[in-house]
């Protein structure tokens, strides 16, 4: 669609006289009659300071304003400073759908309903319509899966048990044609996953190991293996979390939810790639049967894990998942998603996740940063040098689950621990703890962000390029 000439002229006239387009400035132009009732102008500031991060936020800003005004339908011009029209349309659509989400499942519906955008029209030139439509469809799928991930992560821990997470994975898999297998406690024991069993011991909720397979790439293509932390509630175990830190720990399965719905987006987009998702799901609870500080757990790899703190449980269950993925699937790349450490949040703040790649794998590091940039799930690298390894060597076991002496750099030690179980696989770890919940500047509803879903979708697109780095 195109704005009528009269509307364009009115907006231009206002721009010249009353609107300076400074960052955060807004102004409305009202029309006494016609289809278009008003135009809302949003100031974007100096063009030289515009960047791809701000462009991702723009559709969210539009939606936030419209919801606040209870506007159900609006139109916006579609353009991009940084990319082609198809990708611009995909980004706009995904971010608009994300901004239109609110977790109201447990609230009584108001008489006049929740504020909601019903329709958004994107104005583009006629020769760009086909590309725009394709982009809109892609963005709609991605936005929907991000919001489905947020639904899971926001669900209270009393409802979101390991069995419930496995059920939700099965529902998603059946809808999208992904092959799924769920291993129960007996199967987990037979595989020798002592890490998963150890953490799960304190809860009456039995552990689950979720396996998702999407093989639609070339037969000879080594799969992309994704592992996701599935701790459905984390009390810290016997090393109980303080009250200020135990709230929102129902979201400690955000990595697992991202893998479930990231794969769903890949499947719905019919991307020609081979991807496997692995999610160890447990509840970390204090009880008479809980694992203890000082316990020695034998992992699937044969390495023993010396438990120095029961609140470092995510890496313990992921040790088994990583080893299983590396040895069973022989991946071309294995990427882990986990709300692993508060230390990552301290290091980077609330606007990106921490990225770790094996020392010297600079080509992978640069590619994964670019994946974050394109997807909107931004990542920033921290080191994974061997200098950090001695700090997690165990006294009575092979590896300790936290650093023994150095009280700094906890995010790095967590990543270094995980690396020890990746066998010979090309490996990356993304600590999504900084992006687990939204902040005001995100222009999103409070609660889970769905971090990881957009990243996984973009990573699948990049996967052939990543494999070529090793060829």
Buried b (16+ CB within 10 A) or exposed e, 18-46: ebeeeeeeebebeeeeeebeebbbbebee
Cα 353 from chain centroid (whole Å): 9
**CA gap 96, 351 in Å, rounded:** 19
315, 416, 426, 435: which is the annotated catalytic residue?
315
CB-facing half-sphere around the CA of 361: CA atoms within 13 A:
25
Cα 208 from chain centroid (whole Å): 21
SS3 103: coil
The helix (run of H) or strand (run of E) holding residue 68 is: helix 52-68
**CA gap 236, 33 in Å, rounded:** 61
User: Over the Cα atoms of the chain, what is R_g?
Assistant: 23
**CA gap 173, 160 in Å, rounded:** 18
Task: Note if 330 is an active site residue.
Answer: no
Kindly state the tokens that stand for 244.
């200020």
The helix (run of H) or strand (run of E) holding residue 410 is: helix 410-419
Nearest to 194 by CA among 310, 321, 60: 321
The residue whose two tokens read 């090393």 is 239
**CA gap 382, 368 in Å, rounded:** 13
DSSP 303: -
241, 298, 330, 461: which is the annotated catalytic residue?
241
**Residues 96, 102, 105, 111, CA torsion sign:** negative
Task: Note if 241 is an active site residue.
Answer: yes
The helix (run of H) or strand (run of E) holding residue 28 is: strand 26-30
The residue whose two tokens read 């061997």 is 386
The residue whose two tokens read 């955008």 is 117
**CA gap 75, 212 in Å, rounded:** 39
Kindly state the tokens that stand for 302.
């044969």
List, by residue number, the catalytic residues.
Answer: 241, 315
């Amino acid at each position: 669609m195109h704005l009528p000439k009269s509307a364009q002229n009115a907006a231009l006239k206002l721009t010249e006289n009353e609107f300076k387009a400074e960052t955060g400035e807004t102004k409305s132009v009202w029309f006494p009659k016609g289809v278009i009732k008003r135009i809302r102008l949003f100031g974007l500031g100096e063009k030289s300071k515009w960047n791809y991060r701000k462009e991702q936020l723009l559709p969210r800003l539009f939606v936030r304003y419209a919801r606040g005004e209870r506007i159900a339908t609006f139109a916006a011009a579609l353009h991009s400073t940084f990319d082609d029209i198809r990708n611009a349309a995909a980004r706009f659509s995904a971010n608009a759908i994300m901004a239109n989400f609110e977790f109201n499942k447990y609230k009584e519906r108001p008489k006049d309903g929740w504020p909601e955008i019903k329709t958004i029209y994107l104005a583009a030139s006629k020769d760009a319509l086909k590309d725009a439509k394709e982009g809109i469809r892609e963005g709609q799928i991605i936005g929907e899966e991000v919001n489905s991930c947020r639904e899971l992560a926001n669900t209270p821990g009393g409802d979101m048990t390991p069995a419930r997470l496995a059920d939700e994975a099965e529902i998603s898999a059946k809808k999208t044609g992904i092959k799924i297998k769920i291993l129960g406690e007996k199967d987990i024991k037979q595989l020798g996953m002592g890490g998963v069993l150890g953490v799960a011991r304190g809860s009456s909720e039995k552990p689950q190991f979720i396996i998702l397979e999407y093989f639609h790439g070339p037969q000879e293509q080594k799969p992309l293996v994704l592992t996701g932390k599935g701790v459905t509630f984390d009390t810290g175990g016997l090393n109980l979390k303080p009250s200020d830190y135990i709230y929102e720990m129902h979201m400690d399965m955000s990595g697992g939810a991202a893998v479930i719905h990231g794969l769903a987006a890949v499947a719905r987009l019919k991307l020609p790639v081979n991807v496997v998702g692995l999610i160890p799901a447990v509840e970390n609870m204090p009880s008479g049967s809980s694992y203890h500080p000082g316990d020695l757990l034998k992992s699937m790899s044969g390495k023993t894990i010396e438990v120095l703190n029961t609140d470092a449980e995510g890496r313990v269950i992921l040790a088994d998942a990583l080893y299983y993925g590396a040895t069973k699937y022989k991946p071309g790349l294995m990427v882990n998603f986990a709300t692993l450490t508060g230390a990552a949040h301290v290091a980077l703040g609330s606007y990106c996740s921490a990225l770790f790649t094996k020392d010297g794998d600079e080509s992978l590091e640069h590619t994964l940063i670019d994946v974050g940039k394109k997807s909107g799930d931004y990542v920033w690298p921290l080191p994974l040098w061997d200098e950090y390894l001695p700090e997690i060597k165990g006294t009575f076991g092979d590896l300790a689950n936290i650093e023994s002496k150095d009280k700094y750099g906890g995010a790095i030690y967590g990543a270094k621990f995980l690396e020890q179980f990746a066998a010979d696989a090309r490996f990356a770890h993304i600590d999504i703890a900084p992006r687990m919940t939204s902040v005001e500047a995100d222009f999103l509803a409070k609660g889970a962000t769905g971090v990881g879903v957009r990243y996984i979708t973009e990573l699948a697109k990049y996967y052939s390029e990543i494999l070529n780095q090793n060829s």
